[in-house]
């Protein structure tokens, strides 16, 4: 079953397209990572899916109906970010108790255990928490709600590394016990990729990739060695990045392919070149880099 279906989804502000004819679907009971650079349109997309804002054109369906102003979508989803608003007069302990009135699947016992584990004070107030503590409390509500559609938009903002690891571990354990559709937008791709099943990469409001994480990890490879040999090998290949890394030594990131003469990896090894894996986070950077040449930031300083 498809929980989310987007077809040529477009959103414009003052004639500027933030999302541009975006089409994709997300299956039930999967964890999808939404990645892209700042300004790519990730938050806008998530808010449209959650029904917070209306798309300009195209169509988005959540639970088989239009998400905007839908009571069904609102009642079966939760949008978690660092801007979540709670009644300022209620203490944290009271907020935990009130949450069960809004989310039918809410697990008050899980919420209380997480609340105690992360060292919260029941008499504290949400609007007086530090940035990291705010994100942690919001995460507790998001996990304990167990909504059929749970959206985390940069949920670990302000958290230290230890808390982020605990969050990912808690999310995975609860997802295994209680499957639901989860979308995570995060800049910490290397930290979150082990819990993802699919990745949706967008750039300037358009889809670049939507693949299972296993395929993303095998999408490209790094090749390093004699510059002339590398250049000859990658000729007519899809080169994502290249950089001189030493005297007459070139490193290139190339999309994998197969041909009658063997895969790019096999060809590189036969030519005596070093073949390495490419981290998912590096791949996303290479795919979204704006520089026409493949040197990245180093190009700024060339011939300076």
Q: What is the pLDDT of residues 163-180, one digit of tens each?
A: 999 999 999 999 999 999
| CB half-sphere exposure, 249, CA atoms < 13 A | 8
With cut-offs at 50, 70 and 90, classify the pLDDT of residue 292. very low
Mean pLDDT confidence for 111-118: 97
C-alpha closest to that of 184 among 204, 155, 208: 155
Cα separation of 192 and 126, whole Å? 26
* 24 burial via Cβ count (<10 Å: 0-12, 13-18, 19+): middle
Compute CA 23 distance to the chain's CA centroid, rounded to the nearest angstrom: 17
pLDDT at 96 over 50: yes
Question: Are 121 and 92 in contact, with CB atoms under 8 Å apart?
Answer: yes
| Residue with more model confidence, 282 or 188 | 282
CB atoms within 10 A of CB 139: 24
Whether 84 has a pLDDT exceeding 80, the answer reads yes
Cβ of 156: how many Cβ atoms within 10 Å? Answer: 24
Q: Which tops the pLDDT comparison, 247 or 188? A: 247
Whole-Å CA distances, 17 to 39, 56, 204, 243, 262: 11, 9, 9, 33, 42
In this prediction, residues 191-200 reach a mean pLDDT of 93
Give the pLDDT confidence score for residue 186 in this predicted structure. 85
- The C-alpha atoms of residue 221 and residue 244 are separated, in whole angstroms, by 17
Mode of pairing for the β-strands spanning 239-246 and 77-80:
unpaired
Residue 112 has pLDDT above 90, yes or no: yes
- Give the mean pLDDT of 138-166: 95
Residue scoring higher pLDDT (38 or 153)? 153
Find out whether 140 and 93 touch, Cβ atoms under 8 Å.
Answer: no
Q: Where are the alpha helices (DSSP H) in 146-240?
A: 161-177, 189-192, 213-217, 227-234
Across the range 289-294, mean pLDDT stands at: 60
For residues 148 and 180, the answer to whether their CB atoms sit within 8 Å is yes
Say what the pLDDT of residue 294 is: 53
What is residue 260's predicted lDDT score, i.e. its pLDDT?
A: 44
pLDDT at residue 291 tops 80: no
Assign 267 a pLDDT band (cuts: 50, 70, 90).
very high
Q: Stretch 86-97: mean pLDDT, rounded?
A: 95
């Amino acid at each position: 079953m498809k929980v989310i279906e987007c077809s040529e989804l477009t959103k414009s502000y003052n004639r500027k397209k933030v999302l541009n004819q975006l089409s994709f679907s997300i299956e039930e009971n999967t964890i999808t990572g939404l990645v892209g650079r700042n300004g790519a349109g990730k938050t806008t997309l998530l808010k449209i899916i959650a029904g917070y804002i209306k798309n300009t054109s195209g169509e988005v369906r959540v639970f088989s109906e239009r998400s905007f102003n839908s009571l069904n979508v609102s009642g079966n989803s939760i949008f978690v970010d660092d801007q979540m608003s709670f009644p300022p007069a209620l203490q944290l302990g009271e907020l935990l108790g009130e949450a069960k009135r809004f989310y039918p699947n809410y697990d008050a016992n899980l919420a209380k255990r997480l609340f105690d584990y992360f060292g919260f004070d029941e008499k504290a107030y949400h609007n007086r928490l530090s940035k990291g503590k705010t994100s942690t409390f919001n995460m507790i509500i998001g996990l304990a709600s167990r909504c059929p559609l749970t959206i985390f938009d940069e949920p670990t903002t302000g958290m230290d590394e230890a808390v982020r690891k605990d969050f990912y571990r808690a999310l995975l354990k609860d997802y295994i016990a209680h499957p639901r559709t989860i979308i995570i937008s995060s800049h910490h791709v290397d930290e979150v990729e082990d819990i993802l099943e699919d990745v949706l990469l967008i750039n300037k409001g358009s889809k670049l990739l939507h693949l299972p994480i296993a395929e993303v990890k095998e999408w490209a490879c790094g090749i390093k060695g004699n510059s002339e040999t590398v250049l000859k090998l990658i000729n007519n290949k899809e080169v994502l990045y290249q950089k001189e890394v030493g005297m007459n030594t070139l490193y290139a990131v190339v999309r994998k392919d197969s041909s009658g003469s063997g895969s790019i990896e096999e060809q590189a090894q036969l030519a005596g070149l070093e073949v390495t894996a490419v981290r998912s986070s590096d791949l996303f950077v290479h795919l979204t880099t704006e520089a026409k040449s493949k040197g990245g930031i180093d190009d700024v300083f060339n011939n300076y």
